[in-house]
Amino acid sequence: MANFVVERKSPQELTQEDIETLVKWTTDAGWDPHVRPSDISHMYGGPPYLNAKIFFGFLDGKRIGHVALITVGNSTDVMEYITMFIMDKPLRGKGYGLKIWNAMWECRDTSANTYLDAVTKMSSNYESMGLNIVEWDNREYIIPLSAIAVKYKMTERIGNVLTKPLSEVELDKIVEYDAMVYGIRRPVLIKKWTAVPESFTWVGVNEKGDVVGCITIREGADKQDAIVGPLFSDNLEIAKKLMYIAAQTMSSQTSSKNLRILMCVQTRESNAIQMIESDFGVKCCANFLRMCSKKSKVDISKIISIHSLGYG
């Protein structure tokens, strides 16, 4: 009789083999095809450590799947993200994935709002598991960097908002702006994410020195696409200004030719979609649903693009 067990680990407990497994399984499965191995190693492989639980499934001693649960917030206000739920393809549909999921689900904080970004065709499965609120639709677009440089060059004239590299802005100000967007402080996640190797973060600052927007962009796994996330802003004009400086940075410092942006579009559809589809004549190439266990405090009006699948 087959022996199946689920092993739970924190990031501090992960071995090099564990990290290599997360990298290989995640990239092989195409879970997020733009994620580089170095991104996963950075997020899980060293301090400051995420508050996360990673669940590995073993069948007769062989790893067959995993899922991660990331917790942010404090004792009174908590959000949890489910990410990297991946099974060995030959063993899908045999119930092992559900057992790994259940082990994770039983360990979550029931007072927290739990979410994931679901492939649309799988949304009914997650709904039956308790993630029955769809907060928004994430739509992915690909835009030539050269087109952004031409179309949004006029944003340089927005004189009351300066774009500054992260090195010139206190990280705490980014954390507080992120908290305005998400309704919860996520300092460790922000510190980790803005330090992803070969990524660039630009910040929009007004005349008072207040943060009014931010963008992080990195080179994708194929080195042809620059991956945006997050792009938060007080309005669309600031978003365009940040997209312009990010496009200029990636064109001059990497081999990237295109920009990929995963947009939150449900409540801002008329403006945000016009900004992309009308300005550049592109169409959505993929979409995912943000599903939650409870209604969140997220200020969707400030979100143009999320970080990445599973990181908010």
The verdict on domain 4-111 having CATH code 2.60.120.620 is no
Q: Cα separations (Å) of 196 from 43, 119, 199, 250?
A: 8, 25, 6, 15
In the chain (312 residues long), the average pLDDT of successive 10-residue segments reads 91 91 80 78 91 96 94 86 90 91 94 89 86 88 94 83 96 96 92 92 95 94 89 93 95 94 68 83 89 88 79 64
Residue 310: the pLDDT is 59
Q: What is the DSSP string of 52-98?
A: EEEEEEEETTEEEEEEEEEEEE-SSSEEEEEEEEEE-GGGTTSSHHH
Residue 288: the pLDDT is 86
Q: Name the residue ranges covered by the structural domains of the chain.
A: 4-111, 138-305
Element (H, E) at 218: strand 211-219
Q: Are 300 and 232 in contact (CB under 8 A)?
A: no
Residues 25-75 have pLDDT tens digits of 887 777 677 778 888 889 998 899 999 999 999 999 999 999 999 999 877
Residue 267: the pLDDT is 52
Strand partners, 164: 203
pTM of the model: 0.91
Domains 4-111 and 138-305 share a fold: yes
* CA–CA dist 193, 43 (Å, integer): 7
Residue 268: the pLDDT is 47
Q: Cα separations (Å) of 80 from 48, 194, 224, 293, 299?
A: 18, 20, 32, 10, 17
CATH number of 138-305: 3.40.630.30
